[in-house]
């Protein structure tokens, strides 16, 4: 693994960590709201109006605070993770373009003469491997972002539909 792919891998790792943190937070928040709802569901309903209103205020507060937390704290983590991944993907794409430029120069050299041809062939193989690594990293990053966004939306939907 070359220095450039290591650099983008480290950026991707930071993004992955943020996305995982976001997913854990989203699932934990959704789970906590579900548990609170289950407690709320056990409360007696044949009580004085004032107590019934207090119970409804608690339910409303739980949902509002959880949604606010999701839309601020958890969403910020999602955005941070996406930003890291986008930066890594941008750098990877730039490296892929540079790899293709070098490969193109090698092809031009091949058309001129045979000197260094075997070394260029070896270089083309390394370029193809490097390009493949960058493309895989981009694909992995896109998949991780999509999964994190799905987790976020599911938790948001679960919380919204709880009370």
Domain ranges of the chain: 3-160
Predicted confidence at residue 2, as pLDDT, reads: 87
CA dihedral 154, 157, 159, 163 (to 10 degrees): -150
* Other CB atoms within 10 A of residue 16 CB: 20
What is the DSSP annotation of 113-140?
A: -STTHHHHHHHHHHHHHHHHHHHHHHHH
Q: Which pLDDT tens digit goes with each residue over 40-98?
A: 989 888 899 999 999 999 999 999 999 999 999 999 999 999 999 999 999 999 999 99
Quick one: pLDDT band at residue 163, thresholds 50, 70, 90?
A: confident
Tens of pLDDT along 87-115? 999 999 999 999 999 999 999 998 888 89
In CATH terms, 3-160 corresponds, of 1.20.5, 1.10.3470, 1.20.1050, 1.10.287, to 1.20.1050
Query: What is the C-alpha to C-alpha distance for residues 31 and 36, in angstroms, rounded to an integer?
Result: 9
pLDDT of residue 44: 87
| pLDDT attached to residue 45 | 85
């Amino acid at each position: 693994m070359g220095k450039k792919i290591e650099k983008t891998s480290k950026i991707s790792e930071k993004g992955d960590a943020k996305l995982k943190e976001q997913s854990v937070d989203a699932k934990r928040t959704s789970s906590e709201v579900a548990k609170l709802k289950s407690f709320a569901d056990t409360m007696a309903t044949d009580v004085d109006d004032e107590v019934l209103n207090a119970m409804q205020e608690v339910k409303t507060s739980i949902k509002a605070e959880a949604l606010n937390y999701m839309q601020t704290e958890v969403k910020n983590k999602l955005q941070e993770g996406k930003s890291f991944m986008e930066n890594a993907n941008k750098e990877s794409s730039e490296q892929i373009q540079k790899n293709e430029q070098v490969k193109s120069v090698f092809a031009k050299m091949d058309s001129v003469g045979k000197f260094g041809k075997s070394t260029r062939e070896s270089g083309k193989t390394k370029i193809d491997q490097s390009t493949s690594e960058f493309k895989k990293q981009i694909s992995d990053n896109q998949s991780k972002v999509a999964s994190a966004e799905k987790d976020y939306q599911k938790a948001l939907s679960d919380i919204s539909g709880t009370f």
